[in-house]
Chain A
Amino acid sequence: MTTRFFGAPVKRNEDKKLLTGQALFIDDVELPGMLHAALLRSQVAHARIKNIDTSAALQRGGVIAVYTAEDLGAYCQPGPLLVPPPPVPGIVFNLRTHVPLAKDTVRCAGEPLAIVVAESRYIAEDALDDIVVDLEILPAVVDLEKALEQDTTCVHADLGTNVAAHVRQTKGDYRRAAANADLTLKRRFRYEHGISSPIETRGVVAQWDARAEHMTVWDTTQAPVFVRNMLAGALGLGEGQVRVIAPFVGGGFGPKIMMLYPEEATLPWIAMRLNRPVKWIEDRFEHFVATTHERGQIHDAEIALARDGRILGVRDVFLHDNGAYNPYGLTVPINSQCTLLGPYVVPAYDSRFTSVFTNLPIVTPYRGAGRQHGVFVIERLLDLAAHELNIDPAEIRRRNFIPKDAFPFKNEIIYQDFAPLEYDSGNYEPVLDKALEAIGYADFVANEQPKLHAQGRSVGIGIACYVEGTGIGPYEGAKVQVRANGKVSVATGIGTQGQGHFTSFAQIVADQLGVDVTDVDIVTGDTDRFYWGAGTFASRGAVVAGNAVSEAAQAVRKKALKLASDAFECAEEDLVLADGKVSITGIPEKFIRLGELAQRANPMRGAVKPGTEPGLESTQYFGPSSGSTANGVHAAIIEVDPATFEVKILKYVVVHDCGTVINPMILEGQIHGGVAQGIGNAFYEKLSFDEQGQLLNASLADYLLPTSLEVPRMELDHTVTPSPLNPLGVKGAGEAGAIPVGPLFAQAIENALELKQRKIELLEIPLSPSRVFELIQEGGREDDKT
């Protein structure tokens, strides 16, 4: 079998539609009689709702309906727990989920109080001003440490505490490790990840056909199958009565998988009641509070090392900002907890976190999903240790790498897929070597940097390593079908938000069936086309759905060869499948087109043999036993203006290993995009909440996404250590670029300004010119070194 497409930088099938403005995005859905919704959102973070008076809004011309929680009645239920907590012994978990429209209490700014349905979005927004809300404002819980103090206000009064969860995981014996250490270092770290802020916000369109008793929902969700199942359950419909379509989606990055958002829950209910289609498009201002965030953690972390820099153990106690509700369980802090271990041998680990309820928007995974926080802690601890022990920062990492013959490597603690964390494969040293070579590490440190310093320029270098758990289950499925015209149609349950599934999956099928990649049509995100699946998240699309597509394509290939061998009365080994036909090896004139075979597989007469199915198609599923671990090293040379503390990235290198690569061009694009978001996280994007839980910078003018002038040209390289956990050997890559950029910036800026020598340490992200200035003014460290 030739592999003409797999592994090649094949140009994308989906581009033409997107480039010519013909791709259907959610706001492009236009239906006859369609109405428009707008939500009245709380301006305050914590309040008791005394009254909501919608009468004036109902009087406004063009307004069709206004609903509050009261109108929803029994439909207004707290949502389910989407991701149960992992089976960690001794875990404390207090579930509190959100309702579609606020009932009795508002717990974060942005929580919806009412929904208006009108002839246009313009009129709907006019009507929002008509609604009179009487709130009794309560103190807002914003600070993580204050939230845990005695007699503090509770976000959930009935709970009596702001503890959403408490998890402790250990391996080995940290106390003994620390007792035997030549050096222990303890620091407090603060890491804040920002919001996904895709260029397309969220949206929902719901259409109810009363006669067919069928609901169609267009939704920018990353998980259409789950949304379909949840909606059917909530509305009292059979799953077959609900179709969820995720059209082209303008960027997902994680928060578009949270469900059911209030708008996802209410719009279908409204469509049934009004018997007219209803559309809601989130505007940018709403997005800042209406779509989930990732936010901050405070870590008090300690590392114990031997004199040669080997890690003996790590102890970490951290607080995690959960937001007002926790439908998504503990994915983010568990990832922080597990990813902290990185590519290193950490014999003893004691990690404890408290997830804290706050009066702020819900926190759910955003590209990296908590890994950033853990990676920041370990990478900074290693940098500080390197400085103390007078070991080069790259060298201290090398000394701690898990050796290549130690895989699968058991890290014991429980990961987000509920299994003990096990790294399936990896070979870390060559990745570091390539990165050091590409950035010119040795020469920079020995020659370039001293030269630049002599010229009065502050230029520094940073290196950061990480391991990323990817490709977790539960499973995905795919159906591959050869059509009568010889083209191949593929459907899978996940959605697509720009990752190139229409091409990468086509490559897999094209090679198996000997057709051109442009002759493979992929459908994702339509629950009528494929019934089962989980969704795009946790860097799993290529791994899990990709393997399902591969299994299905192979099954179809087998069928095609069997049909052809029956037709030619020859052995299957004598056949070749290429250019859309099956032919006998060496006798190209003897061939049958695939389309013809498909037709023969659905005969009008004769018998379909027992044990076979009609058609040239197959549906297969793939569920990995556990996630596979990708890894990478980022290196950067950054110049800092020593007076204004503005930065300029002079060179940026990524070396990455995600196993077998399906499409290197698409992979590089994912890395570029991830790094750009990482740069935003490290130095530009900061959510500024005040003490009342109000977001002060809810606009793109003040929430700073990096532009083409902030993101540098990157040099990429990769190594290939296939995963033994799936037939294709692939590992996920979607989040990789975003993960280590924070510690990279901290290290390079410290290096550029020689801050460690001045006893100034950068222990927080995001940074900014003003923040760096402030930290230098404060001088030294305030908190305890011991």
Chain B
Amino acid sequence: MQSDLHEIALSVNGKSYRRVVESRMLLSDFLRHELMLAGTHVGCEHGVCGACTILLNGAPVRSCLMLAVQADGHELATVEGLANDTGLHPIQQAMHEHHGLQCGYCTPGILMTMTAFLKENPAPSEAEVREALSGNLCRCTGYQNIVDAMLAAAKAMRGGAL
């Protein structure tokens, strides 16, 4: 069977890309192996673990549940776009300060989920943070330090000290 190919144009972290992809290529594989943005990780390919979470037009989605062709015309954000020339994003810095990562595999997905969450919820309670985090599985940390990091990041982004 001939491959079903489609041309797509999209932007990722502000940079434009134009590629030809097979219709069945998952967005997660496209980002990692076509665009070489391997910071987005794959954990399950059935939409449960959240490791593949990216932002689609600012909203967190599971990239393993989207086809690359569906990203045509959209703006994506991945973990590679969080830090800038001046340094780490406050959420990354907070994770470092609070030991919110061990193996680091689930971390990019968590960073993307929570960046979007904190933007809409700048002063969350611990319960709200835990709920927002519940769609991202972590096997190493037991979540406590991640929660602390998010509360600290929220404070820092509101203008307090980290």
Contacts of B22-57 to chain A: CB distance below 8 A: 22, 24-25, 32-33, 36-46, 48-49, 51
CB distance from B142 to the nearest CB of A (A): 3
By a CB distance below 8 angstroms, the chain A residues around B46 are 284, 699-701
A707 within 8 A of B: yes
Which of the residues A122, A197, A666 comes within 8 Å of B99, measured between beta carbons? A666
A497 within 8 A of B: yes
Can you sample 30 A-B contacts with CB below 8 Å?
Answer: A9-B99, A12-B99, A15-B95, A18-B104, A19-B92, A19-B95, A21-B39, A25-B105, A28-B32, A122-B22, A197-B139, A199-B41, A200-B103, A248-B103, A248-B104, A250-B41, A497-B103, A498-B102, A665-B99, A669-B140, A672-B144, A700-B44, A700-B46, A701-B46, A701-B48, A708-B147, A709-B130, A709-B131, A709-B134, A713-B126
State in angstroms the CA–CA spacing of A251 and B49 once bound together. Answer: 14
A-contact bits for B128-144, CB 8 A (1 contact / 0 none): 01110111111111111
Closest B residue, CB atoms, query A716: B144
Contact B102 A673 (CB under 8 A): yes
Q: Given contacts A12-B99, A27-B38, A708-B134, is CB(A19)–CB(B104) below 8 Å? A: yes
Contact B80 A21 (CB under 8 A): yes
A105 within 8 A of B: no
Which of the residues B49, B78, B104 comes within 8 Å of A498, measured between beta carbons? B104
A705 within 8 A of B: yes
Contact B147 A198 (CB under 8 A): no
B-contact bits for A209-247, CB 8 A (1 contact / 0 none): 000000000000000000000000000000000000000
Which of the residues A251, A497, A672, A707 comes within 8 Å of B145, measured between beta carbons? A672
Contact A669 B141 (CB under 8 A): yes
CB distance from B116 to the nearest CB of A (A): 16
CB distance from A126 to the nearest CB of B (A): 9
Contact B143 A21 (CB under 8 A): no
A23 within 8 A of B: yes
Closest A residue, CB atoms, query B111: A19
By a CB distance below 8 angstroms, the chain A residues around B134 are 707-709
B-contact bits for A665-689, CB 8 A (1 contact / 0 none): 1101101111111000000000000
B96 within 8 A of A: yes
A590 within 8 A of B: no
State in angstroms the CA–CA spacing of A559 and B130 once bound together. Answer: 52
Contacts of B98-119 to chain A: CB distance below 8 A: 99, 101-108, 111
Which of the residues B32, B45, B51, B137 comes within 8 Å of A283, measured between beta carbons? B45
Contact B99 A27 (CB under 8 A): no
CB distance from A46 to the nearest CB of B (A): 28
Contact A23 B83 (CB under 8 A): no
Q: Given contacts A199-B105, A250-B41, A284-B44, is CB(A11)–CB(B99) below 8 Å? A: yes
A647 within 8 A of B: no
Q: Given contacts A699-B46, A700-B49, is CB(A21)–CB(B79) below 8 Å? A: yes
Contact A669 B137 (CB under 8 A): no
Contact A16 B96 (CB under 8 A): yes
A465 within 8 A of B: no
By a CB distance below 8 angstroms, the chain A residues around B153 are none
Closest 10 CB pairs of A and B: A21-B39, A250-B105, A498-B103, A18-B104, A672-B142, A498-B102, A676-B142, A700-B48, A21-B79, A284-B44
Closest B residue, CB atoms, query A287: B44
- Mostly, the A contact residues are loop
By a CB distance below 8 angstroms, the chain B residues around A197 are 139
Closest B residue, CB atoms, query A670: B102
State in angstroms the CA–CA spacing of A705 and B147 once bound together. Answer: 18
Contact B99 A669 (CB under 8 A): yes
State in angstroms the CA–CA spacing of A284 and B46 once bound together. Answer: 9
Closest B residue, CB atoms, query A17: B104
CB distance from B127 to the nearest CB of A (A): 9
State in angstroms the CA–CA spacing of A9 and B37 once bound together. Answer: 32
A599 within 8 A of B: no
Report which B residues bind A (CB closer than 8 A): 22, 24-25, 32-33, 36-46, 48-49, 51, 78-80, 82-83, 88, 92, 95-97, 99, 101-108, 111, 126, 129-131, 133-147
A500 within 8 A of B: yes
B-contact bits for A117-143, CB 8 A (1 contact / 0 none): 000001000000000000000000000
State in angstroms the CA–CA spacing of A705 and B136 once bound together. Answer: 11
CB distance from A623 to the nearest CB of B (A): 27
A392 within 8 A of B: no
Contact B139 A705 (CB under 8 A): yes
Contact B105 A11 (CB under 8 A): no
By a CB distance below 8 angstroms, the chain A residues around B25 are 122
Contact B83 A250 (CB under 8 A): no
Closest B residue, CB atoms, query A705: B137
Q: Given contacts A30-B36, A676-B142, is CB(A707)–CB(B80) below 8 Å? A: no
Q: Given contacts A19-B96, A20-B88, A700-B46, is CB(A250)–CB(B133) below 8 Å? A: no
Contact A21 B108 (CB under 8 A): yes
State in angstroms the CA–CA spacing of A21 and B106 once bound together. Answer: 10
CB distance from A504 to the nearest CB of B (A): 12
State in angstroms the CA–CA spacing of A646 and B76 once bound together. Answer: 39
Closest A residue, CB atoms, query B142: A672
CB distance from B34 to the nearest CB of A (A): 11
By a CB distance below 8 angstroms, the chain A residues around B137 are 199, 700, 705, 707
A644 within 8 A of B: no
Closest B residue, CB atoms, query A503: B99
By a CB distance below 8 angstroms, the chain B residues around A548 are none
B-contact bits for A1-42, CB 8 A (1 contact / 0 none): 000000001011011111111110101101000000000000
B-contact bits for A642-667, CB 8 A (1 contact / 0 none): 00000000000000000000000110
State in angstroms the CA–CA spacing of A234 and B48 once bound together. Answer: 39
By a CB distance below 8 angstroms, the chain B residues around A15 are 95-96, 101, 104
Which residue of A666, A672, A677, A737 has the most chain B CB atoms within 10 A of its CB atom?
A: A672
CB distance from A434 to the nearest CB of B (A): 19
CB distance from A20 to the nearest CB of B (A): 5
A513 within 8 A of B: no
By a CB distance below 8 angstroms, the chain A residues around B82 are 20
Contact A20 B49 (CB under 8 A): no
State in angstroms the CA–CA spacing of A9 and B96 once bound together. Answer: 12
B-contact bits for A493-508, CB 8 A (1 contact / 0 none): 0000111100000000
CB distance from B31 to the nearest CB of A (A): 10
By a CB distance below 8 angstroms, the chain A residues around B140 are 251, 498, 669, 673
Which of the residues A251, A677, A708 comes within 8 Å of B143, measured between beta carbons? A708
Q: Given contacts A200-B43, A253-B139, A676-B142, is CB(A499)–CB(B105) below 8 Å? A: no
Contact A711 B142 (CB under 8 A): yes
By a CB distance below 8 angstroms, the chain A residues around B45 are 283-284
Q: Given contacts A27-B32, A199-B138, A709-B130, is CB(A18)–CB(B38) below 8 Å? A: no
By a CB distance below 8 angstroms, the chain A residues around B129 are 708
Which residue of A201, A671, A699, A713 has the most chain B CB atoms within 10 A of its CB atom?
A: A713
CB distance from A318 to the nearest CB of B (A): 28
A556 within 8 A of B: no
By a CB distance below 8 angstroms, the chain A residues around B133 are 707-708
Contact A699 B96 (CB under 8 A): no
CB distance from B110 to the nearest CB of A (A): 10
Which residue of A122, A248, A672, A708 has the most chain B CB atoms within 10 A of its CB atom?
A: A708
State in angstroms the CA–CA spacing of A322 and B105 once bound together. Answer: 30
- 14 more A-B residue pairs beyond the given contacts A673-B141, A700-B49, A707-B134, with a C-beta to C-beta distance below 8 A: A11-B99, A21-B38, A25-B105, A28-B32, A201-B43, A250-B105, A251-B105, A668-B99, A669-B102, A672-B145, A675-B142, A708-B143, A711-B144, A713-B144
